[in-house]
Amino acid sequence: MKRTIFLLVGFVILLTEVHAYGNVLYTTFGPGTSPSYNGQVGYLVGSSIYDNTGKAQVAVSFTPSDSSTLTSIDFAGAWWNGPNQLTVSLVTDKSGAPLGSVLETFNFTTLAYPPEIYTAYSSLHPTLYASTKYWVLLTVQDPVNSGFSWQLNDQGYNGYAYNFSGTDYKWVNSPDATTPALDVKGTAVPEPSLPLLLGAGLVGFVVFRKKCKACL
């Protein structure tokens, strides 16, 4: 009986360990433990003394191959000027743009220069479904007076979208332009059949042993 209990506990621990570690669902960073990106060139989010176009939002789409719960989002960026208020959002797709539901938002107020990698750790852990399109969206709160850069990738990935005014109807897709540097990490959602079958089998084995002992 004790041995069976240990098996059940071990099964639960195994599922917990699988949930604890994130896998890369999408990345434009270079390979290795020290991700690479273009530290010299990035897309302006907001305005600067050199460019007053006021681009309020920049976004990158991705489609996970497996269903997962969000763990974190990394992006390479820097603060240039003005109020240091930048929001990163995970948004569902609508009509080929980041106009769907906002799944989670992260507020940053400590970006600095030179560029570095910043991490948004998920507390809501929304489920990202396989073969479904999502967007990572960067929004500057004061596009007229604030300026940030979202650094470009140096791995040859292309495609991103931007919005000059921050309104829903002026998104522009640029499939041939260089994609900003980011990654999205998540924990794989296990196939429901395997845990259920294993769990049911172990529970059934315990019940069977109890009935056998009662018959003796």
Cα dist from 124 to 105, 186, 212, whole Å: 10, 12, 45
Report the pLDDT value the prediction gives residue 149, as an integer from 0 to 100.
Answer: 95
Number of CB atoms found within 10 A of residue 50's CB: 9
68-109, pLDDT tens digit by residue?
A: 999 999 999 999 999 999 999 999 999 999 999 999 999 999
H helices present in the chain, as ranges: 2-20, 193-215
Give the tens place of pLDDT for each residue, 145-185.
Answer: 899 999 999 999 999 999 886 665 589 999 999 999 999 99
Task: State residue 14's pLDDT score.
Answer: 43
Residue 10 has pLDDT above 50, yes or no: no
Q: What is the pLDDT of residue 32?
A: 74
pLDDT of residue 166: 61
For residue 140 the two structure tokens come to: 């500057």
Q: CB-based burial of residue 90 (10 Å sphere; 0-12 exposed, 13-18 middle, 19+ buried)?
A: buried
Domain extent listing, the chain: 2-215
**pLDDT at residue 208 greater than cutoff 60:** no
Q: State both tokens at 176.
A: 């041939």
- Predicted TM-score (pTM) of the model is 0.79
Q: Is the pLDDT of residue 135 over 50?
A: yes
CB neighbour list of residue 78: distance below 8 Å, 6 or more residues apart: 42, 111, 112, 113, 114, 115, 116, 148, 149, 151
pLDDT at 23: 93
φ and ψ of 213, to 5 deg: -70, -35
SS (H, E, C) 145-181: CCEEEEEECCCCCEEEEEECCCCCCCEEEEEEEECEC
pLDDT at 138 over 90: yes
pLDDT in tens, 15-62: 444 444 479 999 999 887 678 999 999 999 998 767 666 678 999 999
As a whole number of angstroms, the distance between CA 149 and CA 80 comes to 7
Evaluated on CA atoms 170, 145, 181, 20, the torsion sign reads negative
> Which residue has 């596009």 as its token pair?
143
